[in-house]
């Protein structure tokens, strides 16, 4: 089946290079039994790709089931996937078949595969490698012939490095990777998608279809779309229902777009222009680069003050040190801070250092100094920022997540990850 036929059959709108490549890979791998790992942000349509693979495969007449691994409680997910025997746990009043038994011969789509508990990951690995599984509470090995397609909006390779995802399972699932592009990576498709959604909602609500003026199209294409196609569809529906005008300009469109402040974190400065948000999709990478630059600046400041402590004459060349301060009790001949706008109570070293002094303490016999660096752990800083944001917004997750520049769902996950009490 050619690419355009696939788009027509599954109602896929767009002609971007990244989208076409993903569709071609899905079509090529469909007629095999290889495991597929679909990567992409939330809302890009990963489940549609799993349906394409199943529909174009030799298993198309057999069952297909989509399972959201993140929506099933950890205590019951083994039972859901592999089944259980009567009396195997409290509430198991009867034996139950799992998905790998009911979908035998077909395809199972495991969405949010990164949310699987480690124990379930081991069971899944055995299914992929040997086609075998054991019901909860049973000792009997059963066979299954199921093709597994997995999807994630996380970077699983990073999870393997922190022990949250089995490395052997990752490489077993990742036999054929498919990356579905985000909406901001295929901007040329945004007006086409909006027009399609507007026409659909016009039929649904029995009204005239809305259209966009040129300035509104530009605004629509430059919006970051954190919710991707799902968010674009929601915006199109809101405008179709609520707008009094059917020809939408940029000003009216702006009133429907959420105020996502994605540039709240400082950007790196340098000889190059400011780096785009897309280059730093990973929030921890942003923090890492930020704190690395902060550490570098702090170390440079420390070195400057240490040089001044050892050789006060250097202060004459600095604009902020332009006098003599007589309030230092002869410890170190530090310059007068008043002319520089420094508070009068500034009578101690501004740096966290230990100084060993002997003799008359004239500042020339400093034997040793040792900087005491603050914690530069990215996780500690991230936790600290989350706590500050929650306090600032009085525990309101939505406002705190907006202030942090992350989604409310990501904030909820990090509250659990760092065990932060609200």
Q: Tens of pLDDT along 201-227?
A: 999 999 899 999 999 999 999 999 999
**What pLDDT band is residue 272 in, cutting at 50, 70 and 90?**
very low
What is the fold, at CATH topology level, of the domain defined by 187-254? Helicase, Ruva Protein; domain 3 (1.10.8)
Average pLDDT over residues 225-242: 94
- Whether 90 has a pLDDT exceeding 90, the answer reads no
Cα-Cα-Cα-Cα torsion 351, 356, 358, 360, nearest 10 degrees, comes to: 10
Distance CA 110, CA 213 (A): 41
The mean pLDDT value for 394-399 works out to 84
Q: How confident is residue 374, by pLDDT bands cut at 50, 70 and 90?
A: low
Q: Alpha carbon of 16 to those of 190, 192, 212: distances in Å?
A: 10, 11, 21
Q: Write out pLDDT tens, residues 159-191.
A: 999 999 999 999 999 999 999 999 999 999 999
Mean pLDDT of 223-236: 94
Among the ranges given (9-18, 32-41, 373-382), the one the predictor scored with the smallest mean pLDDT = 373-382
| Cβ 49 vs Cβ 66: under 8 Å | no
Query: What pLDDT does residue 228 have?
Result: 95
Say if CB 214 and CB 231 are below 8 A apart: no
- 45 φ, ψ (degrees, to nearest 5): 100, 40
Q: What is the pLDDT at residue 200? A: 93
What band does 402 get if pLDDT is binned at 50, 70 and 90?
A: confident
Q: Do domains 3-181 and 377-417 have the same CATH topology?
A: no
Domain 3-181: CATH architecture, name and number where available: 3-Layer(aba) Sandwich (3.40)
pLDDT at 317: 59
In angstroms, the CA 350 to CA 340 distance is 15
pTM for the complete prediction? Answer: 0.61
Q: Are strands 132-134 and 107-111 parallel, antiparallel or unpaired?
A: unpaired
Contact present, 351 and 365 (Cβ < 8 Å): no
Question: Residue 331 CA to chain centroid, in angstroms?
Answer: 52
Nearest to 125 by CA among 116, 138, 115, 112: 116
d(CA 22, CA 41): 14
Between 391 and 264, where is the model more confident? 391
What span, in angstroms and rounded, lies between the C-alpha atoms of 349 and 62? 75
Instruction: Transcribe 221-253 into DSSP letters.
Output: HHS--TTHHHHHHHHHHHHHHH-S-SEE-HHHH
88: Cβ–Cβ under 8 A, 6 or more apart, which residues?
A: 79, 135, 136, 137, 138
The average confidence (pLDDT) of the chain is 81
List beta partners, residue 287: none
Model confidence over 297-349: pLDDT tens digits? 777 777 777 777 777 766 665 554 444 444 444 444 444 444 444 444 444 44
Q: How confident is the model at residue 358 (pLDDT cuts 50, 70, 90)?
A: very low
- Identify the CATH assignment for 377-417 out of 1.20.5, 3.40.50, 1.10.10, 1.10.3470: 1.10.10
Tell how strand 368-371 and strand 353-356 pair up: antiparallel
Q: What is the pLDDT of residue 295?
A: 73
Higher pLDDT, 11 or 304: 11
Per-residue pLDDT at 108 exceeds 90 = yes
Q: Give yes or no for residue 267 having a pLDDT over 60.
A: no
Tell me which of 87 and 26 has the higher pLDDT: 26
Alpha helices per DSSP H over 56-155: 77-82, 99-102, 118-130
DSSP H or E segment with residue 111: strand 107-111
Integer-rounded Cα Rg, in Å, for the chain is: 30
Residue ranges covered by each domain of the chain? 3-181, 187-254, 287-371, 377-417
Cβ partners under 8 Å of residue 10, min gap 6: 48, 51, 52, 55
């Amino acid at each position: 089946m050619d690419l355009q036929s696939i788009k027509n059959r599954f109602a896929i709108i767009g002609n971007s290079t990244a989208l076409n490549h993903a569709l071609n890979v899905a079509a090529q791998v469909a007629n095999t039994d290889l495991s597929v790992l679909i990567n992409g942000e939330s809302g890009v349509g990963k489940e549609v790709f799993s349906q394409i693979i199943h529909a174009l495969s030799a298993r198309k007449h057999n069952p297909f089931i989509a399972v959201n691994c993140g929506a099933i409680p950890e205590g019951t997910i083994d039972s859901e996937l592999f089944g259980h025997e009567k009396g195997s746990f409290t509430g198991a009043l009867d034996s139950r078949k799992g998905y790998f038994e009911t979908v035998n011969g077909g395809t199972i789509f495991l969405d949010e595969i990164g949310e699987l508990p480690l124990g379930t990951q081991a069971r899944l690995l055995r299914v992929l490698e040997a086609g075998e599984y054991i019901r909860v509470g049973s000792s009997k090995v059963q066979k299954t012939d199921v093709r597994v397609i997995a999807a994630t909006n996380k970077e699983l390779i990073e999870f393997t490095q922190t022990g949250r995802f089995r490395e052997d399972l990752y490489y077993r699932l990742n036999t054929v990777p498919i990356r579905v592009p985000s909406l901001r990576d295929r901007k040329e498709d945004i007006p086409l998608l909006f027009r399609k959604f507007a026409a659909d909602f016009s039929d649904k609500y029995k009204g005239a279809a809305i259209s966009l003026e040129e300035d509104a199209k530009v605004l629509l294409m430059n919006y970051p779309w954190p919710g991707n196609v799902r968010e674009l569809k929601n915006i199109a529906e809101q405008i179709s229902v609520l707008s009094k005008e059917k020809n939408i300009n940029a000003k009216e469109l702006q009133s429907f777009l959420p105020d996502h402040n994605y540039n709240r974190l400082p950007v790196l400065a340098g000889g190059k222009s400011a780096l785009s948000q897309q280059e730093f999709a990973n929030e921890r990478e942003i923090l890492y680069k930020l704190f690395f630059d902060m550490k570098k600046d702090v170390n440079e400041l420390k070195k400057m003050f240490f040089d001044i402590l050892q050789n006060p004459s250097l202060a004459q060349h600095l604009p902020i040190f332009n006098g003599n301060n007589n309030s230092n009790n002869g410890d170190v001949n530090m310059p007068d801070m008043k002319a520089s706008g420094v508070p009068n109570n500034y009578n101690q070293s501004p740096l966290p250092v230990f100084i060993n002094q002997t003799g008359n303490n004239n500042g020339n016999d400093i034997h040793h100094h040792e900087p005491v660096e603050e914690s530069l752990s990215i996780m500690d800083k991230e936790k600290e920022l989350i706590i500050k944001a929650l306090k600032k917004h009085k525990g309101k997750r939505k406002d705190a997540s907006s202030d942090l520049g992350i989604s409310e769902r990501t904030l909820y996950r990090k509250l659990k990850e760092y065990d932060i009490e609200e």
